[in-house]
Structure 1
Amino acid sequence: MIVSLAMIAVLSRLLDTTAIGIAVIGLGIGTIAFNIREFATSEYLIQRIDVSREDIRTAFTLMFGTSLLICCGLSAFAPWIAEFYSQPALKMFIIILAFSGVIDSSVSTIAALLKRDMQFGAMTRINALGVITNAAVTVTLAWFDFGFMSYAWGTLVSALVRMVLAFHARPILWMYRPCLKGWRSFFVFGGYKGASTVLDRTYEALPQLVLGHFMPLTAVGLFNRANLVCGLPDKFMLSALFSIAFPAFAAEVRQNRSVKEAYLRLISYITALYWPAQLVLAILAYPIVHIALGPAWDGAVPLVQLLSLAAIFWFPNILTFPVLVALGANREAFEANFIGRGLAMVVICVASFYGLYALVFSQFIVLPFQMAISLIYVRRHVPFAWTEFAAILCNSALVTFGAVIGPLGILAAHGFAFDLSIGLALVATLLSAAGWLTALVLTKHPLLDEIIHMVELFMPRLLANRPGVPAE
């Protein structure tokens, strides 16, 4: 995530809003297309009690075959897409992304096996080195004036690196032997997951794809960069949670343990981390945008503030799909996603016709609705009481208040003008961290237990590395 943030900061200074807008459209189309292969997802291997060689070979055969079909489809439609957006160079961009998706298909089967075995360290190395490669290639090419095509070449080289690293982690070359034994089971499992994944990616890309056709590409660039900055708390704090949640909940179910306590505890962790981060981001949007994107992106500041406030309602959504699928409620997981995202896409499309700010304000409609749908469906299978849930939220709300009181004081002293200097923003951040920790202690929030546990875990290691301190 640190590398991704640095990449955003550098590319926002090397490329203009139009170039970024074109890249965002191309990447959005590629993402939607290749998520169709989730209908035959290799994650089916995660929940199986026993996994045979035939299962693994079938998973790869389905994933590779689907990716190849998508690659052919994208390449065939690339000229039409380029014409639709009046950007001829978009054709080559999409073709390169199509080949990248085929290469990356070999990673998904190995990734599913690593997640099944809870080997998240290996997954971290694969993903981190892939991101570093992508950033290095993209930034280098942008520096040499490759423009928005830098993103396409960076994606291709990153896919090659991820493939090599995946086989280094699990050198199972025999999975290349075609096999379709039990293929129906993959599609039965992946049917709802694939539909949900395509729906998710379409929902994420749709605002930019619609804006790109009806409004100048500058608006697409502004919305994309505002969305990226607003998503920083999610990327830094919660991105790993989604990867771990499904295998962890699935392990609980396999051992016949209730997931209620784990679900509520995770909700308390998410709200105690995510709420303060989003509100502090809204307060410090001006200096954060200047640091992350540069002074040329001041137009994104009010967008970041509005999107950050709307994101407060997003907190339960990250756990909905993992917990329902782990409990075998694949159909309900898809229904919840379809209802929430389906209505949201209608609202977003309508709002896009009225401009960029109408699109942003629509988030205050769609995110609360998705939150309500998420909780209703989860509660059918994880029967928690609303009073329990409310108590968790109240506790996290107190922690959030403790985190924002310092930054609000700095803002008040500055005449409630958001153009804080970097120095004042740093002071506000330190006050926020101090207030957050103090509130965790005073409220005895469950997250405090995790922090204490981490300190106990890492302090002996840190002390052992100090000169003159014997290791245990």
Structure 2
Amino acid sequence: MGTVRRAFFMATLDQYSQIVVSMVLIAVLSRLLDSTDIGVAAIGLSIGTIAFTVREFATSEFLIQREELHATDIRTGTTLVFGLSAIIAVGLVLLSPYIASFYNLASLQTFICLVAISGVIDGLVSPHTALLRREIEFGSLTRINVAGAVANAVTALVAAWQGYGFMSLAIAVIAAAAVRAVLTFQAKPEIWMFRPCLVGSRSIFSFGGYKGASSVLDRVYESLPQLVLGRIMPLSAVGIFNRANLVCGLPDKLMLSAAFSVAFPAFAAEVRAKRAIKESYLRMVSYISVLFWPSSLMLAILADPIVNIVLGNGWLPVVPILRILCCATIFSFANILTYPVLVAFGANRDAFTANFVGRGVSTVIICVASFQGLVALALSQFISLPFQMYVSFHYIRRRVHFEWKELLGVLAKSGVVTVMAIAGPLAIVALNGFHFDLSLGETAVCILLAAAGWMAGLIVFRHPLLDELPAILERLFGRWVRKSTAAAE
């Protein structure tokens, strides 16, 4: 578990660093670009994301899951991923005039072509990244990802400052991809991987078939609201929903993405060693829920001041949408572990079926809701996310044999800690006449009360995360303390 703890710490540091960079980018860019520019960029990036997700049919994660890895496996994986990336890029370039015509935005064509270039660059190093994850080299991955995020932010801000408008984000993704590629080659300079090879490609496509379909469905589910809104409503509505969704996703990026980065390699290693993972799974669920629930609900409570600080006064229409999304998203905590657990067992079909049922039904729900406006779209998450949560647990229990009462026991502790965390901030809101437009001072008090209530909850109810705090503090401050002690001696 020591290696997994260190990996989780490095992955969390990665996500935390990226979230800081993202917040700076969001804050400044929202003041340089208006909601229409953000809406156009959201459409272009969504189209590129969906298209390049198709290469997951030859997923590099095959290299993580395989018990015995040979050079031919690596070469074949590299050949397929890069080849698919090139084909997808050409397809995007050829289709870009028609997509631009569909949205009646001529400049969208150039945007999509730039996104296509970035996808090819990312395809170059995707297998290298998978090997770093297999080896649980999350220190290297953290440096690579943070540098890419900084390159993306700096490029976007400079380009926007120079008046490139929404095109700034397309230029930025190319810069970020180039930086990630250079640093990945530096961390793993394995040029031999690019020698073309197709030996064993059938196995890779067999492994990636369900993964690719699931990934495409995920990206369609995430991007469809923006793509539909861009067709039936003003582009400013797309920008408002994009900003609300982006701010709402900050706890997700910090907590859940870090868990996902570590979960698949960790669970795969446990399964390869033929060890039971029930305790590890339930413990991971407890960690995620006790971190994610208070964060999401605090974001809902402080939506007014956070939008004012992060986005500026010009984005006040984001507040009600953000508050709804944050309250609904507490039901999404379980979904992040479904894929890594099932695939670690080699149950790709179950992983796909769970995703197809959960996301498929939810896609229909949000698509219908999109035609009713932004508020209806946000409220639809109270139907789709609980449904996805149930589906996730249903399929997980086929492989990880826990009882419902065991799960409820884990979640109950996280629930009471969450209540203690938000009790203080809600009291401040009540004293403010139940108005959520808090001042900076009141916001600071709410944050302090939430932190104190959360820590008290961990201690009073002996939450499992409490056992991890010494290790976390050691990693954060141990080196500094040791240096100070050595200097004193």
Normalised TM-score (structure 2): 0.95
Q: 1:457 to 1:153 in 2, by over 3 A?
A: closer
1:95 aligns with 2:116: no
Q: Which residue does the alignment assign to 1:54?
A: 72
Residue of structure 1 aligned with 2:434, choices 416, 426, 442: 416
Q: CA separation in 2, counterparts of 1:458 and 1:269?
A: 18
1:353 aligns with 2:371: yes
Residue of structure 2 aligned with 1:369, choices 387, 391, 394: 387
Q: Which runs of 5+ in 2 are unaligned?
A: 1-18
1:228 aligns with 2:246: yes
Q: CA separation in 2, counterparts of 1:379 and 1:239?
A: 22
Q: CA separation in 1, counterparts of 2:155 and 2:115?
A: 15
Retained in 1: the 8 A contact 2:59–2:204?
A: yes
Runs of 4+ in 1 over 3 A off after TM superposition: 456-460, 467-471
For residues 363-391 of structure 1, the C-alpha deviation after alignment (integer angstroms, 9 at most, x for no partner) is 11100110110110101111101111111
Residue of structure 2 aligned with 1:212, choices 230, 248, 257: 230
Q: Which residue does the alignment assign to 1:442?
A: 460
Q: CA separation in 1, counterparts of 2:483 and 2:38?
A: 45
Q: CA separation in 2, counterparts of 1:456 and 1:86?
A: 56
Could you tell me how far 1:326 is from its partner in structure 2? 0.2
Could you tell me how far 1:107 is from its partner in structure 2? 1.4
Residue of structure 2 aligned with 1:150, choices 157, 168, 176: 168
Residue of structure 1 aligned with 2:297, choices 279, 291, 294: 279
Q: CA separation in 1, counterparts of 2:409 and 2:71?
A: 48
Q: Which runs of 5+ in 1 are unaligned?
A: none
Q: Which residue does the alignment assign to 1:392?
A: 410
1:465 aligns with 2:483: yes
Residue of structure 1 aligned with 2:218, choices 193, 200, 223: 200
Q: Which residue does the alignment assign to 2:39?
A: 21
Retained in 1: the 8 A contact 2:256–2:333?
A: no
Q: 1:460 to 1:98 in 2, by over 3 A?
A: closer
Q: CA separation in 2, counterparts of 1:225 and 1:34?
A: 23
Could you tell me how far 1:238 is from its partner in structure 2? 2.1
Residue of structure 2 aligned with 1:381, choices 390, 399, 403: 399
Letter in 2 for 1:461: R
Residue of structure 1 aligned with 2:181, choices 163, 167, 174: 163
1:266 aligns with 2:284: yes
Root mean square deviation, CA, Å: 1.1
1:328 aligns with 2:354: no
Q: CA separation in 1, counterparts of 2:64 and 2:145?
A: 19
Letter in 2 for 1:194: G
1:172 aligns with 2:190: yes
User: Counterparts of 1:419-434 in structure 2 under 5 Å?
Assistant: 419-434=437-452
Letter in 2 for 1:81: I
Retained in 2: the 8 A contact 1:464–1:470?
A: no
Letter in 2 for 1:223: F
Q: CA separation in 2, counterparts of 1:18 and 1:338?
A: 33
Q: CA separation in 2, counterparts of 1:19 and 1:459?
A: 43
For residues 398-445 of structure 1, the C-alpha deviation after alignment (integer angstroms, 9 at most, x for no partner) is 100110011011111111101001111011001100010001000000
Q: Which residue does the alignment assign to 1:6?
A: 24
Could you tell me how far 1:465 is from its partner in structure 2? 2.8
Could you tell me how far 1:457 is from its partner in structure 2? 4.3
Letter in 1 for 2:67: I
1:297 aligns with 2:315: yes
Could you tell me how far 1:459 is from its partner in structure 2? 4.1
Could you tell me how far 1:4 is from its partner in structure 2? 1.0
Q: Which residue does the alignment assign to 1:241?
A: 259
Residue of structure 2 aligned with 1:252, choices 270, 282, 287: 270
Q: 1:49 to 1:17 in 2, by over 3 A?
A: same
Q: CA separation in 1, counterparts of 2:187 and 2:204?
A: 24
Q: 1:217 to 1:458 in 2, by over 3 A?
A: closer
More displaced 10-residue stretch of structure 1: 137-146 or 48-57: 48-57
Could you tell me how far 1:30 is from its partner in structure 2? 0.1
Letter in 2 for 1:185: S
Retained in 2: the 8 A contact 1:134–1:155?
A: yes
Letter in 2 for 1:369: F
Q: CA separation in 2, counterparts of 1:370 and 1:458?
A: 35
For residues 184-233 of structure 1, the C-alpha deviation after alignment (integer angstroms, 9 at most, x for no partner) is 11101100011111110110000000000000111100001001111111
Letter in 2 for 1:432: A
Letter in 2 for 1:78: S
Letter in 2 for 1:353: F
Retained in 2: the 8 A contact 1:137–1:154?
A: yes
Letter in 2 for 1:135: A
Could you tell me how far 1:469 is from its partner in structure 2? 4.2
Determine what percentage of the aligned residue pairs are the same residue.
58
Retained in 1: the 8 A contact 2:25–2:157?
A: yes
Aligned length: 471
For residues 239-277 of structure 1, the C-alpha deviation after alignment (integer angstroms, 9 at most, x for no partner) is 211111100000000111011111100111111111111
Could you tell me how far 1:237 is from its partner in structure 2? 2.0
Q: Which residue does the alignment assign to 2:358?
A: 340
Q: CA separation in 1, counterparts of 2:475 and 2:259?
A: 20
Q: 1:468 to 1:326 in 2, by over 3 A?
A: closer
Q: 1:174 to 1:435 in 2, by over 3 A?
A: same
Retained in 1: the 8 A contact 2:247–2:322?
A: yes
Could you tell me how far 1:460 is from its partner in structure 2? 3.4
